[in-house]
Amino acid sequence: MGNQSNYLSISDILVTNEKVPCKFLHDLPKMGFLDPASTEDDLKTGTNVEIPLWLAESLYSRRPPLVSVDLPKIYKEAYREILNADACTVDLHKLGQHFYELGCYIAKHDIKGEVGNTLVNTFRQRFRMILSASASTDSISALQPLSDTERERTAGAASTEKALSTWLKRGDCPLSTANMVASHRKRKRAEMEML
């Protein structure tokens, strides 16, 4: 996760294609098609439109900025309060499949700086649920409320757990003390006896 875009990442392409609410700060000739409710050719100052994040970032980074990016509803105050109260009850997959990734991009447009804290707090609260989902045999119901990122982490944890279990059951490669560690212990013991 991070707010650095990755040009070759399909996941990042999907995240930056999510629509975000924006307010246009200048008149834009011949851009009326961006507003589905508009019948005019030009886009007027103050028009509120939902556009893909990649376009919003591009228009915001111009000098002077052509748009101001607003927070999507899942990062606004009401949802942040719900997530901070009990994030485990929220179905992040329904709210936004790319909740954490989009939040990292959107956090820089949050004037109060609360989106970043909400992302961290949400993950902390949901960590146990992710762990139990990775060990669960009832995978469909366990994965249902998880975001795409949480599902990836769960699949990785389950795969690692399975590989460790297989390795431990094999028993052909038992753990033993390394020679260097054993000789170091003997040397320390000899030094202690001399004192």
Give the residue extent of every domain in the chain.
19-71, 72-169
Query: Which tens digit of pLDDT belongs to each residue from 114-157?
Result: 999 999 999 998 888 887 777 765 555 566 688 888 888 888 88
Taking residue 140's Cβ as centre, other Cβ atoms within 10 Å add up to 7
pLDDT, tens digit, for every residue of 36-58? 888 888 889 999 999 999 999 99
Burial class (CB in 10 A: 0-12, 13-18, 19+), 118: buried
Q: What is the pLDDT of residue 143?
A: 65
User: Could you tell me the fold of the domain covering 72-169?
Assistant: Methane Monooxygenase Hydroxylase; Chain G, domain 1 (1.20.58)
- Whole-number average pLDDT of the chain: 84
- pLDDT confidence bin for 2, thresholds 50/70/90: very low
Model confidence, pTM: 0.72
Instruction: Evaluate if residue 3 carries a pLDDT over 70.
Output: no
* Residues facing 49 on adjacent strands: 22
Query: Counting Cβ atoms within 10 Å, is residue 69 exposed (0-12), middle (13-18) or buried (19+)?
Result: buried
Model confidence over 88-120: pLDDT tens digits? 888 888 888 889 999 999 999 998 889 999 999
Strand partners of residue 68: 23
Confidence at residue 73, expressed as pLDDT on a 0 to 100 scale: 92
pLDDT of residue 53: 95
What residues contact residue 128 under an 8 Å CB cut-off, 6+ apart?
88
For residue 58, the model assigns a pLDDT of: 92
Of 37, 14, 40, 34, the closest CA to residue 22 belongs to: 34
pLDDT for residue 5 is more than 70: no
> Taking Cα atoms as reference points, which of 65, 72, 68, 59 lies closest to residue 18?
72
Q: Report which of 54, 50, 34 is spatially closest to residue 105, judged by C-alpha positions.
A: 54
Confidence of residue 1 (pLDDT cuts 50, 70, 90): very low
CA-to-CA distance for 132 and 45, rounded, in angstroms?
50
